[in-house]
Amino acid sequence: MEKEKTALLTVGEGDFDRLVLDSPQPAVVDFSAAWCGPCRSIAPVIESLANDYADRVTVATVDIDDNPRLAARYGVRSVPTVMLFAGGDVKRVLVGARSAEVYRAGIDDLLH
C-alpha cells in the first residue's frame, strides 16, 4: 500500500530560514518531539492543515531533539508549540495541544 502524499514539510536548522522565514506565504511550524504524547495527538491535525491549506500556507514540523538550536532560537520550552509566521516574523504562538478549530482560526487570521 502506497503512503498518501502530504504537503507537510519536515524542516531543520539547515533549511528553516529558506522554507519558513523566506516563504512568500504565511507559515505554520509545529515544534514537537517523538516522545511527546500531546505532539503525537495533534500530528494528524497538523498534517490535515498542511493538506487543506497547501496552496496558501507553508506547514512544517520541527523535531526539537534533532534541532535544539532552532528550538532555543524561538524560545520553545514546551512541546507541542505551534508558531504562526508571516513575512518572516512570529505572529502567534500556541503552546500545548489545541483543537483543529483553534489552529484554523489562527491560520485564517494570517490569511486575512
Domain assignments of the chain as residue spans, ordered by start: 9-111
The catalytic residue positions are: 36, 39
Q: What is the pLDDT of residue 4?
A: 53
**Residue 76: closest CA among 99, 102, 58, 94:** 94
Can you list the residues of the chain whose pLDDT is less than 50?
Answer: 1-3
Q: What is the pLDDT of residue 2?
A: 45
| pTM listed for this prediction | 0.93
Q: What is the pLDDT of residue 3?
A: 47
Domain range 9-111, CATH architecture = 3-Layer(aba) Sandwich (3.40)
DSSP 10: E
